[in-house]
Amino acid sequence: MTEPIVVLCGYEVVKDALVNHGEQFSQRPRHPTIDIYSKGFAFSSECKYWRQLRRFLLGALRNFGMGKKTMEDEIHVELRDLISAISQTGGKTFNPINLLGSAVNSTISYVLFGEKLDYQDPKLHELIIAVRKHVSSIFSPIHQICNTFPFLLKLPFMKHKVYKDIFDIHHFVRKQISRHRETLDTNSPRDLLDYFLVKLKEEELNTGSIFNDTSLIVLMSGLLAAATDTTSSTLKFCLVVMTHFPEIQEKVQREIDEVVGPDRFPRMQDRPQLPYTNAVIHECQRILDLAPIGLYHALSEDTYFRGFMLPKGTTVIPFLSSVLSDPTLWKMPDEFNPGHFLDDKGQFKANPAFMPFSAGLRMCLGENLARMELFLFISALLQKFTFTRTPGSKQLDCNSLRNNKPAMIVSSELCAVPRSTSSVTK
């Protein structure tokens, strides 16, 4: 007997499920390929302990300074290195995805492990490769086939094929754990890993605690994979979009010049005075539509929903693409239009259908960090450079950019021309 699957389409339906009926839609379906190595601790699969673990991680991130000036200052340090590296291209054609990936991975390394990594550091290259292999493996066809037919995982050669690229990221995390344990000061945690190790010490006499070595490795690996690839991809796409809409890029730069000037980086406190810049970044995320279906949900109980009785355990797919292009919430859903996020006076206006991080109880754990990174990186890069298409390339419209987003992110090249009005060095 096949298992029931429900696809949610449109803003009203997705909101009704994930927000208004958040408890009923808060579970995840089983993913056998993930469950085997995660022992039930992965947020992306069926995890009985997700509430307690999520609550702890959110608290630890707040204690570490997420969303505060300390985190902002660290991103500014990273920006100096990124801008220096881009400047070395001399305005010539290049693909920024590796530099952006280095900056984002170094940032998350600081958050999780308290360590900023130099772009030439072999440890940073090891991390980037491990993350990419892990993400590619999780979304590979062979994983999907084995999740559908889990009996295949009993075949030794199949199990090896499924997991051969999964565990490099675990190996990286284990080395960080070993280093942190040697230098841990329980009274002064330095980063998210320290907070978790302190919690492990508090729980070490509790033999049934969910805070253990397995949950530590699984969660740290999951945060690395989720917080790096998505953010660097979004940054690259935003820059590509700017090359195809030069008049919009110019308007953003004019706003930054007027509000911030050339002698310092934009800060989060500047964001209310940079409504057009903020709107452009949001619109880039909307048309990128990076996670069209997000992560699957499952029903925690039998639920009567919009005229249908859905049984407990039903797999639910929130079709986020249908929300980000819902014509009832977006005036021009198929066009790149920053006005979607501006009111009649040109001030930033949130749109409830903006759900790139999903919604409800299981929305993206790293949303605040991602929003901060996107605003600070994009505004500073446009303050410093004008990004242009490669010579001879054609200008693409919104639909062409959206339909070719894998190529736009991975392989497309551009030029970063230094702006004479920008002299930011600090």
List binding-site positions for heme.
364
> Which two structure tokens, joined as six digits, stand for 381?
């890069």
CB 401 within 8 A of CB 244: yes
> Which two structure tokens, joined as six digits, stand for 382?
């446009």
Q: How many residues does the chain have?
A: 426
Cα–Cα distances in Å, from 27 out to 103, 139, 174, 198, 298? 33, 20, 29, 28, 5
Q: Is 391 helix (H, G, I), strand (E, B) or coil?
A: coil
DSSP secondary structure string for all residues of 305-359 = ETTEEE-TT-EEEE-HHHHHT-TTT-SSTTS--GGGGB-TTS-B---TT--TT--
CB 318 within 8 A of CB 8: yes
Q: Token match 């990419």: residue?
A: 132
- The Cα 74–Cα 72 span in angstroms is 5
- The Cα 425–Cα 253 span in angstroms is 17
Calculated CA dihedral for residues 229, 235, 241, 242, nearest 10 degrees: -160
**Binding site per annotation, positions:** 364
CA–CA–CA angle 274, 278, 281 (5° rounding): 145
Maximum pairwise Cα distance, the chain = 66
CB 367 within 8 A of CB 355: no
